[in-house]
Amino acid sequence: EYGITKPKGSKVSFHYNAEMEKYHFGEHHPMKPWRLTLTKSLVSAYGMNFAMDNYTSRAATYEELTSFHTDDYIDHLATVAPQPQPLDVENNNPDLRFNLGGSDCPLFEGLYNYCSMSAGASFDAARKICSNQSDIAIAWGGGLHHAKKAEASGFCYINDIVIAILQLLRIHARVLYIDIDVHHGDGVEEAFFSTDRVMTVSFHKYDPQYFFPGTGALEDNGPKSEHNPGAHHAINVPLNDGITDEQYSKLFESVISKVIEKFRPGAIALQCGADSLAGDRLGRFNLLVEGHASCVEFCKKLNIPLVIFGGGGYTPRNVARAWAYETAVAIGQHKNIPTQIPIHTVWRDRFKNESLLPTIHQILGEPRQNRNTQKRLTEIVQHVTEQLRFVNA
Ligand code: TV1
Ligand code: CA
Ligand code: ZN
């Protein structure tokens, strides 16, 4: 009004703590916290930090963790040890009660610290959105969407996303959760099953017998009881192997634009699991960095406050490519950064024998056969459209 205009572009904050990389799930476990170092190293080498507010995140407090999880579970998590534990009165290992200590969710040194660090970054990111200090807040160390109220699941111990969304709900009447990890975002979906203030949308590989966690069918849209306001507020987009950039980004845009129109969220929480990229050790899709990042671009263009989380991603160099490129999307610089990966990175030190000129786009690994027909994708959009007829915000 007085000639003072808002600076052009979005205000972006980056929430990171280098401590997280120190933890190891075990030698053969696919989850490598080290991919966060690789991502951060790329982001810094490209000079992106100059265009963001950078925060060293802290560990989430007990109160913050128990805003979603039970005291019982957090108390147990705080004391677990990698060594075998005394059995309980019924001669059971108490870890089993919380699904801890198996191969997916092993107990490792410093586990509680690792979990609370991940949640702390996501919590801080959400708070920056609540206080209007950021338009986009990035927490690559979060996105652990399988964790339940009182149970670990699928490499996830603490559901940092649910904790962050609970903060967003203090300010915003409605929050939209979007999940592009190759796995179904079951923990977040379940947490908000009975509220109409959060709509969850997950895109995932669906094969109930053979692909984790086996939930997330097209027809699963929240418990359909008459008194459940959360009915119809869970959207699932089940996909088959080999989906391409073109199919995925078209599907994403048509689903999300319809959701936005009906649900009118005040904030968006976007889980960017990078295991939906081609060549992922666990994933099955054929997405390239561009296709994956087109989802971030689309969300940014909506001009709705946005929290961005990490998630899965099991081919570390591909994860770092995608998350660094998506950081560039957030600051509006993805068209300007050089495609060749800068020399002074952990990357170049670590992968000296890699092809001479690694770029941010090229993806390691072989593409899979595409098993998604146009007919099925049309059916999915049709079903989503019908679900949204029940939603009124
Ligand atoms: C140790 C060592 C653990 C090697 C786990 C793949 C391993 C897997 C391992 C693995 C693996 C899963 C299941 C089977 C359920 C079990 C961060 C009946 C080569 C968000 C979690 C996937 C994905 C869990 C997490 C899945 C995320 N797949 N090698 N484990 N049981 N678990 O299928 O969504 O990305 O695979
Ligand atoms: Ca998903
Ligand atoms: Zn995943």
Domains of the chain (ranges, CATH numbers):
12-388 (3.40.800.20)
pLDDT digits (tens, 9 = 90+) for 78-128: 998 888 778 888 888 889 899 999 999 999 999 999 999 999 999 999 999
- Residue 1 has what pLDDT? 46
Residue 45 to residue 348: CA distance in whole angstroms: 11
Which residues, judged by CB distance below 6 Å to any ligand atom, belong to the binding site of ligand 1? 28-30, 103-104, 144-146, 154-156, 181, 183, 212, 273, 275, 282, 311-312
Residue 207 to residue 271: CA distance in whole angstroms: 21
Ligand 1, atom 15, lies closest to the CA of 212
Distance between Cα 336 and ligand 3 center (Å): 30
Contact 182, 291 (CB under 8 A): no
ipTM comes to 0.99
Angle at 290 between CA 295 and CA 382, to 5 degrees: 40
Contact 177, 161 (CB under 8 A): yes
pLDDT digits (tens, 9 = 90+) for 57-77: 999 999 999 999 999 999 999
- Residue 156 has what pLDDT? 98
- Phi, psi (deg, nearest 5) at residue 137: -125, 130
- The question of whether 334 is a catalytic residue gets the answer no
Least confident of 236-245, 355-364, 366-375: 355-364
Ligand 1, atom 18, lies closest to the CA of 212
Least confident of 37-41, 90-94, 106-110, 205-209: 90-94
Q: Which atom of ligand 1 is nearest to the CA of 313?
A: 35
Distance between Cα 271 and ligand 2 center (Å): 8
Q: Taking 90 as the threshold, does the pLDDT of residue 352 lie above it?
A: no
Residue 356 to residue 83: CA distance in whole angstroms: 44
Identified catalytic residue from 69, 145, 146, 334: 146
Q: What is the mean pLDDT of the chain?
A: 94
Pairing of strands 198-205, 175-179: parallel
Distance between Cα 115 and ligand 1 center (Å): 18
Two structure tokens written together for 195:
């509220």
Average pLDDT score over residue span 297-320: 97
Q: Taking 60 as the threshold, does the pLDDT of residue 31 lie above it?
A: yes
Query: Looking at the chain, which runs of residues are DSSP E strands?
Result: 12-16, 53-56, 136-139, 175-179, 198-205, 234-239, 267-271, 306-309
Average pLDDT score over residue span 296-313: 98
Distance between Cα 182 and ligand 3 center (Å): 5
- Residue 5 has what pLDDT? 60
